[in-house]
Every structure is written in structure tokens, then in C-alpha cells.
Amino acid sequence: MRDIKFRIWDTENKEMLKVQELDFEPTFYGGRIAIRPDQYNDYFDTEDMILMQYTGLHDKNGKEIYEGDILRFNEVDTAIVEWNEKYAYFMVRPIQDYYFDSDVLGHAIEYNNAEIISNIYENEDLLEKGAEE
């Protein structure tokens, strides 16, 4: 069985936090999910947080890959890890003009040398650079 893990981007404090606990209790925040990060003892409303799930996969350095991560393939090409709602799988979306044989995350990291270089929240400038190329 794969690990079910989450992290959150705190939009107010501009920091990435690991999730200790998610609470789906209808009494919290009007029925919305409440999140308790590792770094704090209190729960937070998802309104100020962006929740990202662990994909169950690792990059070439053994680092856990999450939604929103930016991966570099073969030292050149970059892509964003996203969830494909229509077909229910984690995918890679190229940042610049590049074609992957498969957009399935597992296929992309199996056949290419994938390394996490950042994420879409902490380094938005990587997204802009990719659009300019």
C-alpha cells in the first residue's frame, strides 16, 4: 500500500508546510477540511492553504514528488506535476515546448532522468522562463 501524504502551501505566510493531520469533521470551519501542519499545534482552514498530495513516486535523488513540483528531465526540459481530473492520474505538463512520449508521471520518470528543482509556489519565475523559451 502506498503512503498517503499531503503538504500545503500557506498563501498568507508564503511557506510550504508538511501536513500532520486532516480533519473532515463537519463542525470545523463550516464543514470544510481543517489542516494541522507539522510546524503548528493548531488547525487551519483550507481557505488560506493549497493542499497537494504525494504521488507515491520519487525523483532520481529519492525525493518525494508532490503535486505542484517542477521536474527537470534529462538536464534540460521542465514540467509541472499535476492531477488529471478527467482520467484520474498524476501527469506532467511541459513548461516549454517539449513533447513527452507519455504525460503519465510514472512513465515520464521511468524513461527520463527526473529531478525536482522547485515547485510552482516557491519559484513562480521558473514558469515564466519556460513560457519565454
Sequence ranges of the domains in the chain: 6-51, 56-132
* pLDDT higher than threshold 50 for residue 130: no
Cα 117 to Cα 38: distance, rounded to the nearest angstrom: 23
In the prediction, which pLDDT does 31 show?
A: 67
Give me the architecture of the 56-132 domain, per CATH: Roll (2.30)
The pLDDT tens digits for 68-113 are: 999 999 878 899 999 999 999 999 999 987 777 789 999 988 888 8
Q: Which residue has the higher pLDDT, 29 or 38?
A: 38
Q: Which pTM does this prediction carry?
A: 0.85
